[in-house]
Structure 1
Amino acid sequence: MEKKGMQSVEEKNISMVALADIQPSGYNPRKHFDEASLAELADSIRQQGVLQPIGVRPIDESGKFEIVFGERRYRASLMAEMTVIPAVILNVSDEVAEEMAVTENLQRKDVTPIEEANAYQKLIESGRHDIQSLAVQFGKNETYIRTRLKFTALIPEIAELLEKDELTISVASEICRYGEDIQREVFDKHLKEGITYGSWRGMKATEVAKNIERDFTADLDRYNFDKTLCLSCPHNTNNMTLFCEGGCGNCAKRSCLAEMNTAFIVEKSVQALSAHPLLSLGYNPYYYDADAVHRLKELGYEVTEPSGRCYQYPELPEEPQSSDYETEDAFREAKLEYDQEVNDYMEECKELVRRNEEGEISLYAQIGQKDISMCYVEVPTQSSGSGQTAGQEQLSPIQKLEKQDKRNKEIAREKTIDDAKRRIFEVDVTEAKFGAEEDKMIYFFLLSSLRKEHFAIVGIENEDIRYLSDENKLNIIANLTPKAKAVIRRDYLIANFKSNAYGNNAVADLLLEFAQKHMPEALAEIKSSHDEVYEKRHQRIEEKKAVLQVQEQAKHETEHSESDTTEQQPQSQEAAA
């Protein structure tokens, strides 16, 4: 392709540019620089200088330059403690600078496969190249370019192994055919450092490819959904050109495989229910597609684990083909046997339908891992200890559906409540005005503390009612009076005082304030009686304290007198001397 805007180095004058005025560019595909190799280049530069100029371009009007190509020579020059470096100053756009940097580095022999892959990817993303033009420009075949481009899909851990030559290019080429999930498992189980048993390091590419296909892909022949789209899918191992042995191939994208399998089971289950309204949906608790069950429940279908032993529904006999028989007589005899088997099958199906309609059995479409199967469960009779009382009648098919519909509605409400409880904490209620309905809700909860002697005030006249049901509470808050509100609130306060007031806590202070307002005389009497006891006890304590204080004073005076006598004796001895 045409390199519009590219400038030939030979056409430009070479200038000496101060290393202090140069900075690296983010365009360079080379991310790793070998220190030993740089040291060797630095020694060469000290002796001979930089033999090939680097390419730089001006940065705005700052007088600084950005490297277009030659960052390795720049780094080695710094290491060699040079002050200037020969450079070709290029006036090119960002796009051209990036392409020049990538192109120049791709021509180096020591570029790593990952750096090469990222470089090719950048050139294609620039819109100036495609795989064909890259193959021509760099003298590679298209398969080589495509293989390198696939390395950009390697997870970082495996890419690092390739960078460090701990993984061969051929092995990496096999691994990069697969998605991130499979690559992650391959690395964790077989390539991570320290793995001894099951390590794939050192294996040939063909062995790694076979191992991945065996351990991390699924045989499409084992699935029953329509695999037309799979035939052209790039994740089908048949389209990876290796080890293709016919058949549908193996699927290497498990998320897609699971989705197609789930969709197939859901669609087949819905079709079965449409054809047989009295059919129930069940699942094998040990072997079923959980996503299919979940999706069917979201669509409104009831899916349950069959209660009891499941008996396989009869299967339609397979019709014989004339090509399978050596003689016409043998085929005719097989056809007669087949017709009899079909008649037996039809009779058995009719009997099962009758028994299902009369409630003797329950027919199920049972969800498995890859398909659904027809089965039935015996319905326990009264004599078999089902717990059914004599007064209970067997439900008709329509009654069963109505019962199921009622339960489905209950489930919808239950799930709505559960989700609302989880989400309600996310609602910002700080700015909304507190409404009348919310005020009623408050009283609904306060009514839990209402004393029985106040039931009549809120409209409950029946003396036999010992506690308020939710229905009673809803009726009360629908007809609240100012007097009822005051009684409800005060009973709530009293209940909290009773439970939480003690010692010197804040609730105790609030209790005394409440009592002072509503029962001042009684509070004064209570307080007086307890204060009287306190005063007597206080008097006794003060008397004991007075006695102790007299004793302490006497003891102190005695100790002081003895101390004075001791001090006077040495003074008398000194005077005599």
Structure 2
Amino acid sequence: MKKNQKTATAKKQNVNATPATTSNALVPFRSVSMNIPLDKIDPSPFNRDRTISEKELRDLADSIALHGVQTDIKVRPMENGRYEIVYGERRFRASLLAGKTTIPAKVEQMTDEQAETCLIIENLQRENYSAVEEGRIFRRKQEEGLSVAAICERFGKKEDYVRSRISLTTLIPEVAGMLDREDITLEVAKEFAKYDADIQKEVYEEHFRHDDFWSWRGIPAKAFAKKLYDKYMTKLSNYRFDKTECTSCGHNTLNQVLFTDCGDCAACRNIACLQQKNVDYLVDKAVSLLRNDARLHMAVTGNSDRTVVQRLEAMGHELVTLERGLWGYIDEPEMPKVPVPEDYESEEDLRSAQDDYEKELKEFKETCSELDSGVSEGSVLKYAVIGTSDVSVYYERVRAQTDENGLLRGSAPESPAAKLRAKDARNLEICYEHINKDLKKVLKKATTQFLASAMTEREHQMLNYVLLDRIPSANRELLGVTGYGSCRTERLKAAETMTEEQRAMLFRMAFMRYCDDICEYNCQADDIDIQLMIEFGQMHFPEETAAVVGRHKAIYDKRHANLEKRIKAIEEEDKQASVVQVSGELVDTATGEVLALAASEAEPADYPEPMFPQEPEPDYTPYEGPAPDEFLPEERLTPFIPLADNETVTAAKAA
């Protein structure tokens, strides 16, 4: 045995020591190491799944220039004395970049299939492939006829590993790019791959493209999976809208099976319809809650349905963003459940449960009364929070206000109606601030072909208004206006020699320059500067001006209409609350007027008062107005009253 072992070892050493100059000298499945000229080597046709960055190649080239290639590449002999790379193309390309002429290589006879398998195994072991690149390789092998089990056996991978990598090939390019850049983890990418391309595109556009309030970047994979499940899982039991139509719909999976007694497994296969019904339900419920209580504020969190938010904003509703998680707010009190006798084994247990119910009901009424009083006084805020499948009510106590010394302020909280009045006034300012900014952009466009037509009488009046602030003091004195700076002779001479066309162009340029300086904050509806700018835009840029004014005034009109409804409801409620009973009569404490006999002296009602408070039936009226594309209010412009021809500039200034 020992003799045979020595002989075999000597033969092996002899083979490895003999250089292989031609492919005919090679023995199949046995490699020979040698230095091969780079110009005799061709790239592998099977390395199409590997992506090599320029930086990665340059760094390796710098290392090879200093230390050489430390690990042999593998090649196989081809015709005409040339070689084809099996693996090691990155080292080959870096050697060319480093100016080398040869490269150490192992030469081995291989078939195409053997060469490709060897290449893939080498790169898998070196972790040269990205997860998506691995998925493309496994998917291609699957398409060539290999089963998942055969792929696992060939490349030494577990079935879960191979299947998860194959699933990554369904990622849209934007998501695959985030994975390659490590903007998302592999686990998050796997969750993406569970959904079709349309959903991936929607999630990317809404929550990953921009790093804003709606962004889901950086969240753990489990939290991401839950968000996707909550929004896109099609089980009907996850939704609150009326499912009467769904019971007979062909897209309901419950209607697609032989047995219809599978409990809550019903799911909708028409995702677009499901989402539309859910959005309609959330919008209608939020509007109904606001209609029933004008003091309520619509609110959003990071989990709010963006489509619902956009719909509500388009209807003119304003939504606030909650500063904390919902755990930091007060839950809406829950009505205790009436004990059902059938649920108790004895009369004693039932009486005990009824006693507990009475206590809970009393606490419920006290809590509701306390919260309602706080909302009316302004010390408590009430929110309708938009979720993914429902709208929930939460409360927040207004934080106490302190002065600069840290002492509590003694003033009473501002009433809800006063807050809404202030908000309405601010909304009107915002409307004209946006008109100011956007209309300036319209006026700045006239740079290549400036208006040269004859000026109108109205434009002459605008000119008087603007140039009073621009002309030299000597000219103002001629007009009877004093108190300004000195004139410039050269400028006056140029003005006197201008043609009519030049003067018309000068006026319009001066007016537009004046408009550019108009302050863009705290704008008022009756501000003469803004009204004149709008009027000038309507003269010369009617379409653009109408679009700017219409767009921003529509926002205000819709918001104004909603706030007015809420204000009137609150004021009516406050008016009713001011009526008290004095000596058997109802008296309005605000005016002292005696309204009627007190209820105790009036005729008794024909029916008893209910024992427990009756909750009103929800009134969800679907929105049937115009398509909510932009908030589009209308505001009547305050007319600019032209000066009479015989009035002097001095009189105009005094007015």
TM-score band w.r.t. shorter chain: 0.3 to 0.5
Larger relative contact order, structure 1 or 2 (CA cutoff 8 Å, min sep 6): 2
Q: Over alpha carbons, which structure has the higher Rg? A: 1
TM-score (norm. length: structure 2): 0.35
TM-score (ref. length: structure 1)? 0.39
